[in-house]
Structure 1
Amino acid sequence: MALSPVQGRLLDAAVSLFATQGFDATSVQEIVARAAVTKGAMYHYFRSKDDLLYEIYHRLISEQLAHLDGILAAGGVPGDVIRALIVDLVETTTARLAEAAVFAREMHKLPTEPMAALRAQRRRYHEAFRDLVARGQADGTFAAVASADTVTLVVFGVVNQLPQWYQPGGPTSPRQLADEIADFVLAGLSPSGVAEG
């Protein structure tokens, strides 16, 4: 669902302030002042700072899950599907680096219920990815050099670290980076690439 202009300004303000001074040190007054809206306008959309923090990551993971469903529904050979998923994860994460960085640093501040909801969304993506790798390993498309769980942890470990080191506007575009990561993962999964002991 598209955000209203007010919601967009509030989220942008929250991301900027949480990134520079932290969640605890940021007041609701600072957020509404940065967004140039009233407190009443904020409380029309968000009950608290917690809701803003939740929505920062919820928007990203919801987009990624929608893309996951579309990619899986389109079908294709397992290698192409894995590539499409990795490319999408890298591109959507690099498009929202500030949001991803804020959430990684501040997620522990969320109350139990919204945190559990976000973890469930993330777990659904991880399980779908893992199952795709496991099916490819079971039918011989992919090498079983590492378990499907380990492959999944490696891929999401790289994606989750992007806010720590990726520099937008640098020599490597998001798509180039996505292709390199996908090439690396698929080379490791290739049965012909398994070294003989």
Structure 2
Amino acid sequence: MARTIAKDHDQKREQILKTAAKVFADQGFDRASMTVLAKECGISKANIYHYYDSKDAILYDILETYLHELRDRICNVDLSGLTPEQKLQKAVREILYAYQGADDEHRVQISGMNALTEEQQQQLRGYQRDLVNFVRDILKELAPDSFSGAKDKLRAATMSVFGMLNWYYMWNTGAGTKAREDYADLVSTLTVHGVRRL
């Protein structure tokens, strides 16, 4: 007889992913073991294997869930009726909102992706690429003269925006909504005035 799925299966799975992200972020993926993960989750090692057959599977699910949800949240922001400046401000704010509470997942994304198979990495990089392209298109609309026929310059400007946002994540992890909005507005203002002078 097939084993039935517990009513709290999804909730326990989310708990495993959140806890594992913290363990991987603090200890490093290579040093963390399934025994440590089970202990930190407050469940038996046998129970954790009921959800995931390997540490690699947990890592992939952490990053696939995080990046998929991040991509969907940002790329589906309604920008209709906004000026390019307003679009950038709204997109940048939404990215910083989305980063809030996801410090461990973000750190694991930076340090752990290379442990996955090439196919898995390609899937995850696709989510990242969609997010980068979303911001890139706003910048292109913001300063079409600056970026006409200058793909390398456009890419550099786009990645510079993400560099500023990732700096904030690294040094202001506990920042609240108002602080994130203020910094998003600073990034937007610097970017608007900067790209139009390129």
Once residues 68 and 42 of structure 1 are traced to their aligned partners in structure 2, the CA distance between those partners, rounded to angstroms, is 32
Structure 1 unaligned regions, length at least 5:
none
Once residues 157 and 56 of structure 1 are traced to their aligned partners in structure 2, the CA distance between those partners, rounded to angstroms, is 22
Structure 1 residues 62 and 73: CA distance shift in structure 2, 3 A: farther
Pick the aligned partner of 1:30 from 14, 28, 36.
36
Pick the aligned partner of 1:173 from 171, 176, 182.
176
Indicate if the aligned counterparts of 2:84 and 2:142 stay in contact, CA closer than 8 A. Answer: yes
Indicate if the aligned counterparts of 1:64 and 1:88 stay in contact, CA closer than 8 A. Answer: no
Structure 2 unaligned regions, length at least 5:
1-8
Partner of 2:69: 63
Once residues 59 and 121 of structure 2 are traced to their aligned partners in structure 1, the CA distance between those partners, rounded to angstroms, is 10
**1:119 and 2:125 matched:** yes
Indicate if the aligned counterparts of 2:161 and 2:187 stay in contact, CA closer than 8 A. Answer: no
Matched residue type, 1:13: T
Over residues 152-192 of structure 1, what are the superposed CA-to-partner deviations in whole Å (9 max), with x where a residue is unaligned?
11111122344432241xxx53442343233333344249x
Of 174-183 and 128-137, the range deviating more from structure 2: 174-183
Taking structure 1 as the reference length, the TM-score comes to 0.79
Task: Name the % identity.
Answer: 22
Matched residue type, 2:91: L
User: Where does structure 1 differ by over 6 angstroms across 4 or more consecutive aligned residues?
Assistant: none
* Residues matched between the structures, number: 188
Shift of 1:48: 1.7
RMSD: 3.0
Over residues 17-63 of structure 1, what are the superposed CA-to-partner deviations in whole Å (9 max), with x where a residue is unaligned?
22232211111122112212244443343232112222223233222
Taking structure 2 as the reference length, the TM-score comes to 0.78
Over residues 83-103 of structure 1, what are the superposed CA-to-partner deviations in whole Å (9 max), with x where a residue is unaligned?
111111112113211221122
**1:85 and 2:91 matched:** yes
